Amino acid sequence: MYLLGRLLLLVMLVAAVPAAAKTTVIDDSGTLPYDGPLTLHWQQLAPHRPVDNRMSGTLAVHVRLHVAPWLRRSGRIYLVLPAQQPGPMSASWSTQGRLLAGNLSSGRRALVYSGLITTPFVEDVLQLTLLVDGTQLRQLYHVNFKFEMDED
């Protein structure tokens, strides 16, 4: 009886500890443009004190996420901007409502959806603005983004 009680307590404890959310990169190959060119402009056309050498550009991205594997399940979708060349940068975006607007800096991720996945694809148009340090640009860079799914 004592052993049964300990076992029951252990089961209850295990049940109370939430399992770590599984993170999976979402297939976004339907996104257009998939490698879109972004025209950058100086934040500060002429350098004046304090000098701001950041450059920014905005691009419309039609995001199409293949979320069929999570159909009828709850999850959280994040937009990820991995740390990469040409160095620290940040991104901000607006949406048409299917996904959440937000911003993030490189090396981080931001929540763009939370809830039940009801359709095989999630689509939205993002007005994506990228902010980079202009003095770090030496060549053509392909800045990588990705979407991640955290299952509840």
Chain residues binding another protein by CB under 8 A are 24-42, 45-49, 51, 53, 55, 57, 59, 61, 63-64, 86, 97-98, 100, 113-116, 118-123, 128, 130, 132, 134-146
Side-by-side strand order, sheet with 89-94:
41-42, 54-66, 121-133, 89-94, 102-105
Q: Minimum distance from CB of 17 to another protein (Å)? A: 24
Whether residue 44 contacts residue 8, with contact meaning beta carbons closer than 8 Å, is answered with no
Q: Which is nearer to another protein, 12 or 139 (CB)?
A: 139
Q: Minimum distance from CB of 26 to another protein (Å)? A: 7
53 vs 132: CA distance, rounded Å: 9
Q: Is the dihedral of CA 139, 42, 124, 26 positive or negative?
A: positive
Q: Minimum distance from CB of 33 to another protein (Å)? A: 7
> Does residue 33 have a cis peptide bond before it, meaning omega lies within 30 degrees of 0?
yes
Q: Which is nearer to another protein, 4 or 46 (CB)?
A: 46
Over the range 47-72, which residues count as b (16 or more CB within 10 Å of their CB) and which as e? eeeeeeebbbebeebebbbebeebee
Q: Minimum distance from CB of 72 to another protein (Å)? A: 12
Q: Which is nearer to another protein, 6 or 48 (CB)?
A: 48
Q: Which is nearer to another protein, 9 or 60 (CB)?
A: 60
